[in-house]
Structures are given as C-alpha cells and as structure tokens.
Chains A and B, each alone.
Chain A
C-alpha cells in the first residue's frame, strides 16, 4: 500500500443488536463514522451505551448486523473467520482494561505472541520484542511474569504487545480503567507518543475525562447513537 487511504475507519449506517432469548436488544443504531489516518479518537458515554461493542466491531472481534464497514482498506464484514483472524493479526493492536496478559508467559513471551503469527525469524522476533519493550521502558523486566509486575507495568507490557507487530490501528478499551493516577498517566503518555511519533491511529474507549483530554477527538455514544 503505497498511498494510504484518507480515513482508516469508514462506517455507514451500522446497526447491531443482541438477542437474549426471544428479546432483541438494540445496541448500536445507525452509526456513521469516519476516522482519518493518524487520529487519536476517544469514545465516551455512559455504561451500556455500546462503546465496547462498537470498538469490537471496528477491530474485527464482533460482527455488525447491517451497514458498511471498511477498516484499513478492507471490508471486514465480508471476511471469513480465518481471514478475519489474519486481518486482526496484521492490522489491529489490542489493549484491554485488565491487561489480559497470559499469566504463564514472561513479559518477553507475551509481547512475542503476535509475532508468532508473522513469518519473522526467531532472531527478528527477538529484536522486535526488545524494541517494543524498550519503548515502554520495561526491557529490564522482560523475563518477569505478569504476576511479578504492577498493574501499570502489566499495561505497559500489553501496550508493547499491541504495537510489536506494527499495526495500523490500536484499539484500547478503558486502558486506564484499572490503574492508579500515576500509572494511568504513564499509559496515556505512551499512547500519545505512539500517536504523535509513530502516527498510529488509536481508538480508545474511556470513562475518564482526563484520558479523553489526551485524544485529538472525542465522540460520545448514548443509547447506541453517536451524539455530536
């Protein structure tokens, strides 16, 4: 891809509902949204408004019921399960509220995981992981397991994991939701750097106004609809 598309996320009239028994619960209604390449977007809104659902659909974890959805040049609604998994591995870096590191793997191995899905050699993987851990300032801690790290450190390892495969989009769901003020500040600082220095597009779901303040654009979701 020599000329990157103007917008990395292009959504038109997206709808999503969940079924609970024979009850249909509409979660997202007629969402249209365009996210330019390199934007740091914060998604806010009350609990249950559909933020996570929207992020999951954009990141290829969940499927929309209807609407058009193009992410990083691909209409992901048309991808099969296996292709979608490969697309996620190439395109999206994930950051979760509870870090979601694999407890039995060291920081190094956790960061290496996404690279196992690439054709990189062991040697190349090693240097990529070292670079990513350096970036989050945890290279010294590479052989520690998640239980030997603080919450803030774990989230920084998770950030290293999210960026190690050089994805175009970073999807973060309440990345500071479980952190104290200082750690949250460190994590936000890192995300801002990824956006400013490396040009990563970031979509971050958050409840925290101070987190949202770091973003270039803030959108509010309420009862499944975007409000200006």
Chain B
C-alpha cells in the first residue's frame, strides 16, 4: 500500500493559507476557462434551439443567412406545394414565406445603435415555431402596421416595449405584443406582417420559406428534389442545422481566443503551484528521508507529492467552477456575425464543461507538481535524513 492520501490532504490543511492562495490563483484561471466554454455553449444552445426538428428552411443556394437570401415568388410557390409539407387542421399547408431585413434601433440607456432583425411573416409562424409564445399584448393583425417584439428587443431598445412605437422604413410601427422564444434567437427579433414589410422595404422578393414536415424523416427526399431542380437554385436546410451553422463560427472564435488567453494565464497558476510544491518538498526533506528509510519507494513519494498537487488543483478547480456557475445568471448581448444583428444569450454550464474544466484544473496541478514531486522522489535517503 502507498502513502495514504490523508497524508497529502493534511499537509495541504497544515499550510492552509498557502494552499488557499495557490488554489485561489488556479481558481481564477479555471473560472476564465469555464466561462469561455459556457459562453460558447450558451451561444450554441441559443441558436440551435432556435430551430425545430421538423422544420426546414428553403433559401437561395449558398446564402449563409436569411438576410442574404433572395427567393422569387415563383420559386416560393414551387416550394410551398411539395408533398412532404404538413397540413394544419383546415388543410392549409404549413409553409410560410418570410422576408428578413436588418434595421438599426437605439439601445436603452444611451448604449448607441444596434442592429435588429425584422421578420415579415404571418401569425401562422407562431404555430410553426412552437417554442415562441406571446407573453403580453396580442399578435399583429395581418395587413396592418403592427408589430410584435421579442422580449430582448422589448427590454433592450428604446420604444420597443409593449405600446411603444418604432420608426423605420419611412413608417411608424406600433408594438402590440411581446413574444418569448424561450431564450432562442427569436427573442432578439421583431415580427410584422409580411406584405406590409415588403412594401415598406420595397422588396418584391422573399428571403426564405419556412416549412413544417409531416415527419422529420421526410427531410431528405424533399431536400433532394428541391436542390436537384435546375430551375430553383435552392438550398434546403433543417431549421436546427441552419441556426447551428450560424453559431459555429462565433462559438469557435470564442473558444479559440478565450482558451488561448486562459492558457497564457494558466502559466502563472502553474508556476504558483510549482513554487508551493517546491517549498513543500524543501520543508519536508527529512520526512521524505524517513519515509524512504521505513521502506517506502521513490514511486510512493512521487505519488504522495503528485497527489498533494492534484488535490490542490482540484480545490482550485472546484472554487473556480463554483464562481463560474454563478455566471449562468449573467445574460450577455452580442452581435450575431451571421446576421449582424444583436443576439442575447446566457452563459450555460453543462456536465461536459464541468468535466473539461476539472480536467483542465488537474492538468495544471499535474504540470505544477511533477517537477517538485520528482525532486522529492530523487532525494538521496542519507542526505535527506541529515537535512535537519
């Protein structure tokens, strides 16, 4: 049996101030590491859950986002009559032509202008997007200049609250309702009547057609037929995949930049752990000599000091994670690169992030502890015993 783990634990406890300071340094880096992952994850979750599994989106081929896509009325008509499309109770196909434009509105609290997605649609889209609910007021009337605002827009922009009025496209638009899209991207959009908005923005084309499939499995045949049709030059994406693709570039950027920064900062924390552990070895040289005299092997000593360093980093890891989990309460708003519109989302902690973060913390502990532990293991017994 090796040197018991309680030996390592109690040595951390005996010098608890040093332990706390060293673990604190690691906790800060761990916090940053976890926060970056939570940020990227929150962004992905927000965008991915914006889509529904049985919805598909028809766009012009190779357009990254609805804002860049143009569909003619003829193309839209072909899409709407495909047999895979579900019908509602009255036998009406669940297909919705939409137009998406970007406008600039003034943020609350003097934060300047921000881009907002305005979606021309019809009340049918509320039925097709089941995660979207009206939380106050009512839906816009078809054919009117009424609009509903996503809850982030209603809170974040001047005049976008219920009963307010927004000026854009040379008109005044009355906010008659607020929608809650359950934290998804639609929370950061404004919806109004399709034809009113097309007229106001002088568009005689559409951006996309949203479809609800009779069942998710029918997506492939539909996609193949529409994309193979040479008249259409269309691309059909699952709604979820469409939003996932939007999140990809941004989430990757956050991860790469954020992790690069945390790794730079982690050098300091690793050095801190290393200094602490070297000091521990120096203070316990006679102890190491004694353990070796009693018959413990070099490997046992190595493991005892490594365990101490790993426990230290685990402590830092747990403290950092505890802090990071509080970040879930923080909501942040940023520009969605794919649409150049404002998108609000939360830091989100997941079991995978917890494991990744603890592994990162333990990695720091291992790096910081390995050289001191090797020094302890390599001590000559007789010299260690003389080191009173």
Contacts and interface: CB of A to CB of B under 8 A. Distances in A.
Given A96-B385, A116-B1, A102 B295 contact: no
B182 interface: no
Contacts of A134: none
Contacts of A98: 286, 388
A86 B299 CA distance: 13
A129 B2 CA distance: 18
Given A61-B385, A116-B4, A104 B10 contact: yes
B296 to A, nearest CB: 7
Contacts, number: 63
B295 A85 contact: yes
A103 B295 contact: no
B337 interface: no
Given A102-B7, A105-B7, A116-B3, A88 B295 contact: yes
B289 to A, nearest CB: 8
B382 interface: yes
B297 interface: yes
A69 to B, nearest CB: 16
Contact of A117 (B13, B14, B294, B381): B294
Interface in A73-122: 81-82, 85-86, 88-90, 94, 96, 98, 100, 102-105, 109, 113-114, 116-117
B298 interface: yes
A113 B296 CA distance: 9
Contacts of B172: none
B7 A114 contact: no
Contacts of A90: 295
B290 A100 contact: yes
Contacts of A109: 4, 6
Interface string B355-388: 0000000000000000000000000011001001
B293 interface: yes
B233 interface: no
Contacts of B286: 98, 100
B287 interface: yes
Contact of A86 (B292, B295, B298): B295
B11 interface: yes
Counting chain A CB atoms within 10 Å of each CB, which of B3, B10, B295, B388 scores highest? Answer: B295
Contacts of B13: 104
Given A104-B7, A105-B10, A116-B4, A61 B382 contact: yes
A62 B386 CA distance: 12
A104 B11 contact: yes
A30 interface: no
Nearest to A56: B382
B1 A117 contact: yes
A102 B294 CA distance: 12
Contacts of A104: 7, 10-11, 13-14
Contacts of B1: 116-117
| Chain B CB within 10 Å, residue with most, of A59, A62, A86 | A62
A85 B295 CA distance: 5
Contacts of A59: 293
Contact of A89 (B7, B289, B290, B295): B295
A116 B300 CA distance: 11
A173 to B, nearest CB: 9
A45 B88 CA distance: 106
A173 B88 CA distance: 94
Nearest to B297: A85
Contact of A88 (B4, B293, B298): B293
A94 B7 contact: no
Nearest to B299: A82
A94 B14 CA distance: 26
A61 B293 contact: yes
Contacts of A102: 7, 287, 290-291
Contacts of B290: 94, 96, 100, 102
A203 to B, nearest CB: 14
A98 to B, nearest CB: 7
Given A61-B385, A81-B298, A94 B293 contact: yes
B11, B286, B385: which has the most chain A beta carbons within 10 Å? B385
Contacts of B297: 81-82, 85
B112 to A, nearest CB: 59
A201 B298 CA distance: 28
Nearest to B290: A100
Interface string A30-72: 0000000000000000000000000010010110000000000
Contacts of B298: 81
Interface centre among A62, A98, A102, A161 (most CB of B within 10 A): A102
Contacts of B295: 85-86, 88-90, 114, 117
B10 A94 contact: no
Nearest to A53: B382
Nearest to B11: A104
A161 B7 CA distance: 17
Find the residue from B2, B6, B287, B293 having the highest chain A CB count within 10 A: B293
Contacts of A96: 290, 385
Nearest to B12: A104
Given A85-B296, A88-B293, A61 B14 contact: no
26 contacts: A56-B382, A59-B293, A61-B293, A62-B381, A88-B293, A89-B294, A89-B295, A90-B295, A94-B293, A94-B294, A98-B286, A98-B388, A100-B286, A100-B290, A102-B287, A103-B14, A104-B10, A105-B6, A105-B10, A109-B4, A113-B291, A114-B294, A114-B295, A116-B1, A116-B2, A117-B294
Closest 8 CB pairs of A and B: A89-B295, A104-B10, A100-B290, A116-B1, A88-B295, A117-B295, A62-B382, A85-B297
